Amino acid sequence: MRDLDDFLAECDRAPRINEMTGFFAATAAGKSGMPIRRPVADARLLPSDDLLRDLVGLHANRQGFFDQHYHGSIPYRLEEECRMAHAVLNYARQRGAPLSLYSLGTAEGTMARTLSEFSGGQILSLSCSPNPENYKCFMAYGEPPHAEFFIGPFHWLTKDALGSDRRLAKFAPGFDLILEDTTFQMYSPNRSKQIEFVAQHLKDGGIFVFVEKFRAADENDYMRREQQKDYGFKSRYFPQDEIERKKTAVLNTMFNNEVTLEEMSRAVSAHFRHCEMTWNSGNFCSLAASNSKENLSLYLSQMAAPAIPHEYVYEISLDRKLSDGIAARI
């Protein structure tokens, strides 16, 4: 119990809900950090698929302010989000039963809301964010069917909080899939405790997906990838002074809470028997973990090829970098 209290206190001190609050609130409200043009998924990189095309279209129509900032900041993250949404939708259909999705800290929860709406209730979703500005964007197109939103940081969402809230009680049995999207790195480098806390909401055999920015083994590699991101991609959407301002306001602080892939491997393997890398973009990677090899394999089998130019892909093999059976798919 003391360990939990210490962890919750650590989260309460986190930059995300303290010194960085102003940045996230202003960006979520569309008052700053807006790209000079709206990011649009590059259809040339995605497979020609009618279901995916319709899903991408609805996703584009449901984006709020923060998502526009986010997708203009990370190379080809928008295409990856659409690829993942397509895989989740197909995974739910293959299972033949309603799927519950928890998307924590993902701003206005565009992907979760889109999946719930698009699937007609086959996917029940919960999104969370500390910013009420994100909730306003979540509600901008009317109250979404089969999708809920919790206003608060992820560590406020306990089992008791789920069970005592009439709207959220349906999620009390747990989630089939949880997505952590660049959230933990805004709080602390304590991945093992962060994963342990959130995994309490995962059903047996459920899948935990992590999208994070990782430190590189060689700091020079990290900086080269950052320069590629900033000058090769991000400059399409933001003026240089805005890019530099964000480095000062957010990225330098966030760096202190990033971990290496090796450290992430140890944290993940303490809770899950199986894990695979599904995407890499510069210093960003996505991992999918589960204690059910069957469920993880079924989910991965629904994923199209990564929609990203090869020059942004560096982590092509995890075998050399990670232990505990984590292998790469790209």
Is it the case that residue 318 has pLDDT exceeding 90? no
What's the pLDDT at 1?
64
Q: State the average pLDDT for the chain.
A: 93
In tens, the pLDDT along 10-46 reads: 999 999 999 999 999 999 999 999 999 999 999 999 9
Q: What local confidence, expressed as pLDDT, does residue 252 receive?
A: 79
Average pLDDT score over residue span 60-67? 96
Residues 6+ away with beta carbon under 8 Å from 125: 100, 101, 102, 103, 109, 112, 113, 115, 116, 146, 147, 148
CATH topology of domain 2-328: Rossmann fold (3.40.50)
Phi/psi of residue 10, each to 5°?
A: -60, -45
- pLDDT of residue 80 exceeding 50, the answer is yes
**Mean per-residue pLDDT for 137-156?**
95
Length, in residues, of the chain:
330
* Domain definitions of the chain by residue range: 2-328
Q: Which amino acid is at 304?
A: A
Residue 260 DSSP label: B
Closest CA to 22 of 14, 12, 32, 13: 32
Distance between CA 55 and CA 147 in Å, rounded? 16
